[in-house]
Amino acid sequence: MSSFWSAWIIVIALGNIFACYWLVRWTTKKRPGEAAQGDVTGHAWDGLQEFNNPLPRWWLWLFYITIVFSLVYLVLFPGLGTFKGYLGWTSQGSQYGAEMDNAAKTFDPIFKKYAAMPIEQVASDADAHGMGQRMFLSYCALCHGSDGKGAKGFPNLADADWLYGGTPDQIKQSIMMGRQGAMPPHPALAGDDLDKVANYVASLSGRTEGVDAAKAEAGKAMYPTLDCVACHGADGKGNQAMGAPNLTDTTWLYGSSLDTIKETISKGRNGKMPAHADFLGADKVHLLAAYVYSLSKK
């Protein structure tokens, strides 16, 4: 804060306190021409008359006490611009910092203990499961659901189907570094051609309902000539190295209807899993990875 703004705040804060003091003095002073104490002032409304009675003493003193209190407070605690107050209290150091230190003292050894164990072993530890679940509910449930079963665009973590791989290391990598799905849009693929490719993709999982067999057949002939093979493979089984989903199974990230498949192909998709390494740190992510691993093993 520049010294100008500091002075600005000091002037406003002290000025207001002084103004309060002045207001109390001014309203309690007798002015010439005023009705004597105890007399009617002449103001009347609806049969009610106003008498000139002073404020009760105790009431007046309450005003003075609040004024003294605010001055004492501003001497002891920060409030006057950059002046830190004689007690040296800060919200960051004294309160937040102390609570964080306390929490770290209690929980750090526990996180450290689990961090030294392999994820498979942590996954079968009941206490670790409870801690992992609580963290999952605060940090991950928003996107993946409280049961980890996901939603459209947010993968189900409780099944055995993985975009980026389900080994303990791969799961930990997904959480630490985040993931960025990159399905490119295909504006050139439209109309009948898009319809054929979409029907072929839908047929890959063995589906016949709602699938036009002739179009699927035509789409099958087109597929190897398209860029799809680079990511989803010639057999459509996907590629975990780039998070390209397996198109031959019945698990869908964005949906299996022909319209959704067409939308995915023509407009592309960019699912983003945020990185948590800086935010949570490796030890907490280790516990979370174990929790996610255990979900998929049920």
Contacts with ligand HEC by CB under 6 A lie at 139-140, 142-144, 153-155, 157, 162-164, 171, 174-175, 179, 181-184, 186, 189, 197, 201, 226-228, 230-232, 242-245, 247, 252-254, 261, 264-265, 269-274, 276, 288, 292
Long-range CB contacts (< 8 A, 24+ apart) of 250-255? 250/205, 251/156, 251/159, 251/161, 253/152, 253/153, 253/155, 253/163, 254/152, 254/153, 255/152
Quote the least distance from Cβ 147 to ligand HEC, whole Å. Answer: 13
The smaller minimum CB distance to ligand HEC, of residues 24 and 277, is found at 277
The smaller minimum CB distance to ligand HEC, of residues 7 and 190, is found at 190
Per-residue tokens: 219: 């789409």
Quote the least distance from Cβ 148 to ligand HEC, whole Å. Answer: 8
Going 65 to 66 to 70 to 71, the CA torsion angle's sign is negative
The smaller minimum CB distance to ligand HEC, of residues 90 and 170, is found at 170
CA-wise closest residue to 297 among 163, 121, 123: 123
Quote the least distance from Cβ 220 to ligand HEC, whole Å. Answer: 11
CA-wise closest residue to 175 among 295, 252, 271, 282: 282
The smaller minimum CB distance to ligand HEC, of residues 174 and 294, is found at 174
The smaller minimum CB distance to ligand HEC, of residues 11 and 221, is found at 221
Tell me how far CA of residue 213 lies from CA of 11, 70, 219, 234, 236, in angstroms. 81, 82, 10, 20, 18
Quote the least distance from Cβ 100 to ligand HEC, whole Å. Answer: 20
Quote the least distance from Cβ 286 to ligand HEC, whole Å. Answer: 11
